[in-house]
Amino acid sequence: MLEMKESTIKVNGFECGVLFALIMQAPDHSRRSLDNVWKQLVTLKKQAEEEAGVTKEMLPGGMIRITDKDGTVIIRQPFPYEVEGN
């Protein structure tokens, strides 16, 4: 049986975003195999949002309002992981 080793990689915020988007767009079988990486990226994203004072509010009509501590507001369609409670 093949032994699975854990490895650590170093990525910056931009690289995390690219990896996040690639996994989000990947076929189901690929996403399932990268589930642990996805969970780690979601955790990093939540930490970054916390540090930036980000709040999220679901609006009528299915849109999401995202506001940071500086008052910057973005209103857009939510990504599936935002609707699912991540």
Question: pLDDT tens across 33-66, in order?
Answer: 999 999 999 899 889 999 999 999 999 999 999 9
41, part of any domain: yes
6, part of any domain: no
86, part of any domain: yes
Helices (H), 34-85: 35-51, 80-83
Residues 15 and 25 in one domain: yes
**Residue (of 48, 61, 53, 55) closest to 74 by Cα position:** 55
Q: How far apart are CA 20 and CA 45, in angstroms?
A: 9
Residues 38 and 18 in one domain: yes
pTM: 0.74
Q: What is the span of the domain harbouring residue 40?
A: 11-51
Per DSSP bridges, beta strands 73-76 and 55-58 are: unpaired
pLDDT at 4: 78
Quote the number of domains for the chain: 2
pLDDT at 85: 54
Average pLDDT, the chain: 89
Q: How far apart are CA 68 and CA 72, in angstroms?
A: 6
